[in-house]
Amino acid sequence: MASPSPADPSLETEAPHAAVTRERRLNPDLQEQLPKPYLARALAAVDPSHPKGTEGRDPRGMSVLQQHVSFFDRNGDGIVYPWETFKGLRAIGCGYPASFVFSFLINLVMSYPTQPGWIPSPFLSVHVKNIHKGKHGSDSETYDTEGRFDPSKFDAIFSKYGLTHPNALTKDELTSMLKGNRNMYDFLGWIAATGEWMLLYSVAKDKDGLLQQETIRGAFDGSLFERLQHDKKSS
């Protein structure tokens, strides 16, 4: 498939008088690299290197967002309690203090939106089936509002902010992405996004201090957590 002619203004991704569109570029060839990149996938986190998602992974009928969260459902009952979040964080390499603080904050924020009714849970339980209701703003929008995985939004993380390496983010680029994704006055979203991404960076950066594209993709469908847990047990 031939690339669209840049002379066609209806297909341009950069506006001459909007410098930010030149600074944060989109990938015009994504449709050649991945079928229907505009189509959010319900069951698989896909990119050009993984057009069918993580090889050998059984989604078990869950959305990509549900797969991400279900790693922390340690007993598989569909409900995540703070102590399960704590165990999950410890399993992927977080220290005791960070695991304790994050497990409390995550469940505190996510519990009520995911409850099946109007009554809050005194145990701060998070219901996996309703996790899409806990999606916050000021994020990359790779998860859509139903918990599907949007390949075009995922690709934009790197086309916009991966300026040093095309398939990875430095810590400074990660910080730039967090600032660029902020919605006005969405203070809770700013804090949540920063906490999530910095936690990911702390446990999953490589020896060069880079957060690789495959690492981030694995975080979205939860397969990264399983690999980190396996590596921690092996070591």
What's the CA gap between 85 and 96, in Å, rounded?
A: 12
Which letter does DSSP use for residue 62 in this model? -
Is 35:151 a contact under the CB 8 Å cutoff?
A: no
Distance, CA of 180 to chain centre = 16
Binned at pLDDT 50, 70 and 90, residue 235 comes out as confident
Provide the residue count of the chain: 235
For the chain, percent of residues with pLDDT exceeding 90: 94
Binned at pLDDT 50, 70 and 90, residue 109 comes out as very high
pLDDT tens digits, residue range 25-67? 999 999 999 999 999 999 999 999 999 999 999 999 999 999 9
Model-wide pTM > 0.85: yes
